Structure 1
Amino acid sequence: MDKVGLMYVGAVLFINSLMLLGKVDEKSAGVFNLFIGAMQVITPFYLIFTSKGDPWMIFNASGIFLFGLTYLYVGISNLKNLDSSGLGWYSLWVAILALGYSYVNFTKLQDIKFGIIWLMWSFLWTLFYLLLAQKKNIAVFTGWVAFIQAWITATIPAFLLLVNQWDVVGLKTTLSVTILTILAFIVIYISTKPSSSKINSISTKA
């Protein structure tokens, strides 16, 4: 993915995470999603047109569209108060594709770091599917996952790529960060999961 584009993936994930956590207004976040979504649609077109037919450059550019269309969809949905189910089902489609991108990074490109990052993005898009299409009560959990991923899968990698320090991050560091992140997700899920008594109380009131 384009280095600058990846930086702003971190920015929009950061804003969207705060929206899910109730810190940012939905319409305000929607405007920002439109800005980044437009950039993430224009950028891959430019990369493809200037790729001179390089299949891997086209492949990498194609992944940016997944983000751009997601953010445009979020922005329009928020500003127009549209039902979220369409965005949720689109997120499921993207989550499945992200597994493919992860596999290619692991096997064809021999890029373990971005193989893991694509897996994390697939997980996040799966959460969006469950939240928006299946209406699961996981907004807070999804918000925290998006908040963490904003930094470890986008902002920090992009910054390191921009200053030519990404290769300094070795396999040991990558695996350590991955394990700690998974543990953090588990702890956050347990902490934010509604208790059965609360669910029963809501069901009774309904």
Structure 2
Amino acid sequence: MAIVGLLYVGAVLFINGLLLVGAVDPRAAAPMNLFVGALQVVTPTYLIFTSGGDPAVILAASGLYLFGFTYLYVGIGLLAGLDTTGVGWFSLFVAITALGYSVANFQLLGDPAFGVIWLYWAFLWALFFVVLGLKRDSLTNYTGWVTIIQSWVTAAIPAMLLLTGLWRNPTAIAIGLAIGGAVVFGGLYLLDRRRARRAPAPTPAPSVPAATG
């Protein structure tokens, strides 16, 4: 059940990445965030209630709420036109917590591939914090492309491999993801900074005389 949810996490990350790069209207992105947010709250609740108290199952399911609450927060914010600082600072909480889930996957669950994937998510939510919480708009485009890439690499593709029984050799996958992430996201950052330097300076908005009583 959690694997199915992971597939749709890929879908909503893809939409949100396109939103950040300006390809999707904010209100148009809201429904998918609400759909997947609700799914990622219902799914872990069901898994925990049916776990029989198994600590490993409860641990694995508990992390899904981080995604569910994020997407519900984003969806409601997009529809209501809320300021992004709330979801931005919540993203900092998610980023820090994701580091703990990464350690848990390495040390307790014996899953190095998802240990690295949780590091990917920690990095992504840290970017959300910087862009949405600290309002560093210069990183919006970069964050959008990181989101689009992660939608496939950390969610949609792993989910399809898991659903079809083709997810094999987690250690090799972990090594590939670790090296690939460093190269791709580092290179993407350099390209984005080069693009930003070459972009023409924005034209100053015309001043508006102050109104007098």
* TM-score normalised over the length of structure 1: 0.92
> Are 2:88 and 1:120 equivalent residues in the alignment?
no
* Residue 65 of structure 1: aligned partner: 65
1:19-34, aligned counterparts within 5 Å? 19-34=19-34
AA paired with 1:180?
G
2:95 counterpart of 1:95: yes
Tell me, yes or no, if the aligned pair for 2:102 and 2:119 is still in contact at 8 Å: yes
Q: CA offset at residue 102 of structure 1?
A: 0.1
Residue 144 of structure 1 corresponds to which residue in structure 2? 145
- What's the secondary structure of 2:63's corresponding residue? helix
Shift of 1:50: 0.6
Q: Which residue of 2 aligns with 1:107?
A: 107
Give the structure with higher Rg (CA). 2
Mapped to 1, the partners of 2:142 and 2:50 lie a distance apart of 40
CA shift, 1:173, in A, is: 4.4
Offset at residue 87 of structure 1 (A): 0.4
Tell me if the contact between 2:8 and 2:36 (Cα under 8 Å) persists in the aligned partners. Answer: yes
Q: Deviations over 1:80-118 (max 9, x none)?
A: 110000000000001000000000111112211000000
Q: Which residue of 1 aligns with 2:159?
A: 158
Q: Deviation string for 1:110-163 (max 9, x for gaps)?
A: 211000000000000000000001111211100110111111100111111111
- Per-residue CA deviations over 1:14-54 (Å, capped at 9, x if unaligned) read 11111111111111111110011011111111111111111
Name the aligned partner's letter for residue 34 of structure 2.
L
Deviation at 1:172, TM superposition (A): 3.3
Please tell me whether the aligned partners of residues 40 and 65 of structure 2 are also in contact (alpha carbons under 8 angstroms). yes
Distance 1:156 1:192 in 2: 25
Amino acid at match of 1:49: F
* In structure 1, distance between residues paired with 2:42 and 2:110: 28
Across the aligned residues of Structure 1 and Structure 2, the Cα RMSD in angstroms comes to 1.9
* Counterpart mapping for 1:78-93 below 5 A: 78-93=78-93
Gaps of 5+ in 2: 206-213
In structure 1, the partner of 2:210 is none
Deviations 1:169-204 (A, max 9, x none): 453344234312321111211121232x869x56x9
- Whether the 8 Å CA contact 2:113–2:173 is kept in 1: the answer is no
1:69 deviation in Å?
0.3
* Equivalent AA in structure 2 for residue 111 of structure 1: D
AA of the residue aligned to 1:22:
G
Secondary structure, counterpart of 1:138 in structure 2:
helix
- In structure 1, runs of 5+ residues without a counterpart are none
The secondary structure found in structure 2 opposite 1:51 is: coil
Superposition TM-score, scaled by structure 2 size: 0.89
Contact 2:111–2:170 (CA under 8 A) maintained in structure 1:
no
Give the letter aligned to residue 150 of structure 2: Q
Instruction: Tell me by how many angstroms 1:165 deviates.
Output: 1.4
Structure 1 letter corresponding to 2:149? I
How many residues are paired up? 202
